[in-house]
């Protein structure tokens, strides 16, 4: 009896779930689960395969035995990645860029978004348009590059942290979130003699944990994965980021493969497939490790974006 009322309370969807599927519907369901399962598997297979490759012998990889788990298990490839000074240095460069870059992003985004969220800010509309116009039109690559050159940022890590310091898109997301906070909260705080800055620091920010986490994660993943800025702005090998280093290691073999085809022969030295895979796993591990725990924030962020994109 109580189950019935529960079902009614939750709504018709819940009830229809209880109904037995028959004929067409049953067929559709089986087909649906199979197809989604297959797509998800295909989506994830290259990652699983790469991880398996990182721990397999090159011989096993080249004879095509490695699919989902390591064959001829070895740790040498991973060890040599950890012993490679260049890769380790690049890892620290990337960690530095991600941490410092995200801190700059967040500080500037908050400072820009909060005033813009205040309806009583005179000139708010002009400031918004000033910012939104940069989303639609820009100087393009070359003038930006020349500007960085003039400012002396070229070949420094600032060149990959400062030019993208504020994403207008993220400012808009954060601004909408601030705007949805109850006005009464501010009225009460003002009554108690709380200034704007103190209100922002003591009340607004502690209440916006979710949106801060989401936007911070987007900035951080962006820094970790970013390749274009580093390849354009930085020539100094000491400042190569992990992605640049990974690209160089992957590219070696890529060139080999095309050379092989052009020469129609396989005499070139066999590529250390497992070393490539191990570097790829090493460079991606941090994201893979945090992804399952932080996924909900990522998804939340996408929702925030879709509310008022």
Among 5, 197, 267, 269, interactor with another protein by CB under 8 A: 197
3-state helix/strand/coil string of 149-213 = HHCCCCCCCHHHHCCCCCCHHHHHHHHHHHHCCCHHHHHHHHHCCCCHHHHHHHHHHHHCHHHHH
* Residue 4 sits in the site that holds another protein (CB under 8 A): no
Among 36, 99, 188, 289, interactor with another protein by CB under 8 A: 36
* Residue 145 sits in the site that holds another protein (CB under 8 A): yes
Span from 82-90, 174-182, 207-215, 239-247 in contact with another protein (CB under 8 A): 239-247
In sequence order, what DSSP letters do the residues of 273-307 get, joined into one string? HHHHHHHHHHHHHHHHHHHHHHHHHHHHHHHHHHH
Interface positions, 67-86, toward another protein (CB under 8 A): 67
What tokens were used for 30? Answer: 């089986």
Contact track, another protein, 105-134, x by CB under 8 A:
---x--xx-xxx-xxxxx----x--xxx-x
* Residue 87 sits in the site that holds another protein (CB under 8 A): no
* Residue 40 sits in the site that holds another protein (CB under 8 A): yes
Among 49, 74, 155, 179, interactor with another protein by CB under 8 A: 49
Contact track, another protein, 241-280, x by CB under 8 A:
--x--xx--x--xxx-xx-xxx---x------x--xx--x
- Label residue 123 left, alpha or beta by phi (over 0 means left) and psi (-120 to 50 means alpha): left
Among 8, 17, 209, 263, interactor with another protein by CB under 8 A: 17
């Amino acid at each position: 009896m109580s189950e019935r009322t529960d079902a009614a309370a939750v709504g018709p969807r819940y009830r229809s779930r209880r109904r037995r599927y028959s004929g067409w519907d049953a067929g559709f369901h089986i087909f649906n689960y199979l197809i989604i399962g297959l797509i998800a598997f295909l989506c994830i297979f290259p990652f699983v395969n790469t991880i398996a490759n990182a721990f397999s012998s090159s011989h096993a990889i080249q004879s095509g035995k490695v699919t989902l788990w390591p064959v001829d298990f070895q740790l040498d490839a991973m060890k040599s990645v950890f012993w490679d000074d260049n890769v380790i240095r690049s890892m620290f460069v990337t960690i530095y860029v991600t941490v410092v870059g995200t801190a700059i992003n967040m500080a500037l985004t908050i400072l820009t978004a909060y005033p813009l969220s205040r309806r009583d800010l005179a000139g708010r509309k002009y400031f918004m348009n000033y910012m939104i116009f940069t989303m639609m039109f820009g100087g393009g690559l070359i003038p930006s590059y020349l500007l960085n050159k003039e400012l002396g940022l070229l070949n420094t890590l600032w060149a990959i942290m400062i030019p993208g310091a504020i994403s207008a898109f993220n400012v808009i997301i954060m601004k909408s979130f601030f705007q949805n906070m109850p006005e009464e909260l501010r009225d009460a705080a003002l009554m108690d003699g709380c200034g704007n800055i103190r209100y922002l620091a003591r009340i607004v920010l502690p209440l916006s944990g979710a949106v801060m986490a989401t936007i911070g994660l987007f900035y951080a993943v962006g820094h970790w994965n970013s390749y274009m800025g580093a390849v354009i702005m930085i020539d100094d090998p000491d400042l190569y980021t992990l992605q640049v280093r990974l690209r160089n290691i992957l590219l070696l073999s890529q060139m080999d493969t095309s050379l092989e085809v052009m020469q129609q022969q396989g005499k070139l030295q066999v590529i250390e497939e497992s070393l490539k895979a191990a570097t790829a796993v090493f460079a991606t591990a941090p994201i893979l490790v945090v992804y399952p725990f932080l996924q909900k924030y990522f998804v939340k962020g996408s929702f925030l974006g879709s509310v008022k994109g």
